[in-house]
Amino acid sequence: MDFISISIGGGAPPPQTWLSTVIPGVTVALIAGVVLFLLNWLREWITDYWERQSEAEVLAFSLVTLFDTLISGCSDVVDDPLQEHPETGVWHSTVKRPTIIFPEHVSWTVFPKSLQYKIRSVPNKIDVANRNIDSIWEYGNGPPEYDDSFQERRWRYAWIGLEACLINRELADKFGVPTLERGEWDPEERFKREIQKISEQREAEEKATQYWMIPDLLVPTTSIEELTERYAKLTDDLAEARGRFGKG
């Protein structure tokens, strides 16, 4: 008797093709490549960040030192006692105008753009201040006091000194630069008081000049167009009157 073997629920596995063996390997290789790329990129980014941060801290320390010197110079200008020449009676300053010169080959890109602008615009603001002071000295009230020029001098350098204080504070907060211990001397508050004082003086002077202004009742309120129209009508009336007088 022949025996017949019958298997139920079983079968031969499907034949494997080259796609079924290659695709999983390629997928794993792609994932591994992407992960490796991201890890290398992250490592380079972190390295670059810490290098830029370290460079920014070194630059910030150097700039704080320069701005401390500028703050002292601005304070000297604000508190300049002035001196009168014994022969001519002309008043002149006793301190030089401060300035600031940044080191060459500075990598400003380690700072945010807003901070870059604040710092790099200071020399230009000093130049503008000096030009205004010189202009008033030349064309202002003149000798012997030169009071308006000296007032402008204190006003401009109080603002520059105040801005230097704010920049130093920002550098200290962002990059951990230690601030200069000044004891009882607080230049920032001194600059603020001088700005307020001069602002009040100028406001009082402006109000005083209003008494010399023409009263509103004397200021014409008629427009130029209406005045032109009236003038043309008056010319016509005069011409008509002359015609009548000639006929009579």
Of 133, 184, 157, residue with least CA distance to 77:
157
Domain parsing of the chain, residue ranges: 57-217
Q: Which residues does 95 contact at the CB level (< 8 Å), separation at least 6?
A: 73, 76, 77, 80
Query: Which residues lie closer than 8 Å to 89 by C-beta, 6 or more apart?
Result: 144
Tell me: pLDDT of 71 over 70: yes
pTM (whole model) above 0.95? no
**pLDDT of residue 37 exceeding 70:** no
| Position 4 pLDDT exceeds 70 | no
pLDDT at 8 over 90: no
The tokens describing 2, both together, are: 């022949």
pLDDT at 56: 82
pLDDT digits (tens, 9 = 90+) for 146-175: 999 999 999 999 999 999 999 999 999 999
DSSP 9: S
Mean pLDDT, all residues of the chain: 81
Q: In this predicted model, what pLDDT tens digit does every residue of 124-140 receive, in sequence order?
A: 999 999 999 999 999 99
Structure tokens at 33: 């490549």
Nearest to 165 by CA among 229, 78, 96: 78
